[in-house]
Structure formats: structure tokens, C-alpha cells
Amino acid sequence: MNLKFLETFVWVARLKSFRLTAEKLFTTQASISSRIAVLESELGAKLFLRDSRGVSLTPEGLKVLDYAEQMMDTMQALKQSISTRSSKVGRIRIGAMDTVIHTWLSSLVAQMADVYPQVEIELVADTSLNLCDQLQKGFLDLILQTDLLRQESLRSLELASHPVAWIVASNSIYNRDYSGLADLANERIITYSKNSHPHQEILGLMQAHGVMSPRLSCVNSVSAITRLLRDGFGIAALPPVLVSEELARGELTLLPIDQRPPNLQVVVCWRVGVDLAEDIVALCQSTVSAYAQKMGETYIALK
């Protein structure tokens, strides 16, 4: 149903005149009559009675008017909401870990720029540990990283998680059969920065399988990890989503080892009372949902 035709119907009902409605909407009486005729045809009911005294609503028209006015009010509220959001000004300081930067951050920033064109977006890329520290000290307003923070002035929400796998360059010496984690641990393992959540998870997994001192090379850059991996430097404990294109081209290979590190969590944390923060959290949720639908559950799982 055409909303413009409903608006025309409402104005005819209010002004009780096709001529005055035509003047109000800057069109012709013929156009107004045509819109009402189409609306009556769609609804299967006559809406107006026209006689020498003017225009009046039929009983069916009175019923339609109530719903039409509600729809017009809803549309007005929606336009007002969009107008209010797009007119917001200020700055939002966002920190993101590499995993988010290399997956769906660009989509989030594009949505933010579209919804809040006058808001300055300040982005900081860092490790989860450093981002948490900066948020707690008030240097950032919202961060995307791996850990839930429990503090009165902060809020946290798990958005999604990425499965983690053992990945090697297809043409490297590391692309071979392994009997298990103990065998794998004899090789060089590339992983996230030291003391990060993923690093601790890998250490715990190794120790649970009797490997007390694995050879871990800790790197605080996803770009550096993937470059080392492609060059055959070792075996990476990494979410496959970060190298999905290389996997598709056959340049990298997933090792078929059952004992895999836990999923890498993606958590949004924000400071209570910061303007726009909760709106950005909602945008994060919609962006992640769209990204998950695109990539599939092999690469990302929603919370």
C-alpha cells in the first residue's frame, strides 16, 4: 500500500475537500481523486461520500482513518528519530584488536559514518590487554577485544566467537601428519601476544596434554602472524576466518588435529554514560550478524 496515498486520504478526511487537499500537497484535484480511487480499489471499500455539501467519510472510511493516522504518526516518529541521530555531533573513541580489524570493522565504520555523519570516529588498534587498560583509564569509550570486564563504570557484551585451528603453509615442511599435540608441540607455534587470552588458552591446552614448555612464538600483529605463516615460518594457532582467502586458494592448509584451542571470543566493552556508546553497541551486533551470515558458522559463531 502506497503511504503517499494514505497521507492523501488523511488530508482529504481532515480538510473535507479534494481541492484544499490538492493545494496542501501541491498537486491537482485529478491526482487526488486518482489516489483515493486506487486506495478504495485496494481496500475494496468506498471511503468518501461526495455531495453538494462537500466530502464526508463513509463508515468504512472512519475505520481506515484511525489506522491511517497511526501509520502517519509512526512514519513521522521514524523520520524524527533518523533526523535526530544524523544531527548528532561529537566524537567516539573506539579501540579494536587485530582480529576485528581484519574482519568486520570496516563494515561497522561505514555504518557509523552513514548513521552519524557528523560524529568524529577515532580508532585505536592494539592488543586486548592494552585496550582494556585504556578503557579503564578513560582514554577510550568503547573497545572490541577478547575479555569480559567486570567494573561498575563499564559494561560488556559477548558478540561472537571465532573457531581457532592449527594452520600451515601448504608447501611448508610443517604440512605433515601429526600424532597429536605432543608431536605438534615439537614444532614452532605462532600465536597471539604473550599473556593475551588466546595465548593463555593455548598454553593451558598444551599443558593439559602433557606439554609443559611448548615452543611458542608470540606476535602482537595478525598481519605479521599471517605473513610468517605464508612464508612457512611455523604452525599458526589462528582463527581460519583471518586467512579464508588463502585457504580457499590452497596456499594454506588446516591441520586435521582434534585437539584445537578454544574459540576466540569477541567482546564489546563500553563506558557507562558515554553518549552514543549503546547505539554503537547495537550497530556492532547488527554488523556481526550480517558478517556471520556472509561467512558461515565455520568461521564465526554468534552469541
Q: Given this model, what pLDDT does residue 79 score?
A: 64
Which CA distances in Å does 119 have to 95, 185, 188? 16, 48, 45
Cell for 293?
A: 551470515
Question: In three state form, how does the secondary structure of 166-206 look?
Answer: EEEECCCCCCCCCCCHHHHCCCCEEECCCCCHHHHHHHHHH
The letter for the amino acid at 55 is V
DSSP reduced 3-state for 215: coil
pLDDT string in tens for the chain (303-residue length): 677 888 888 888 888 888 888 888 888 888 888 888 888 888 888 988 887 777 888 988 888 888 888 888 887 776 666 555 556 778 899 999 999 999 999 999 999 988 888 889 999 999 999 999 999 999 999 999 999 888 889 999 999 999 999 999 999 999 999 998 989 989 999 999 888 888 999 999 998 988 888 888 999 899 999 999 999 999 999 999 999 999 999 999 999 998 999 999 999 999 998 888 989 999 999 999 999 999 999 999 998
- The verdict on pTM exceeding 0.75 is no
Complete domains list, the chain, with CATH: 3-86 (1.10.10.10), 90-160+266-296 (3.40.190.10), 165-254 (3.40.190.10)
The dihedrals phi and psi of 254, each to the nearest 5 degrees, come to: -85, 125
d(CA 121, CA 26): 41
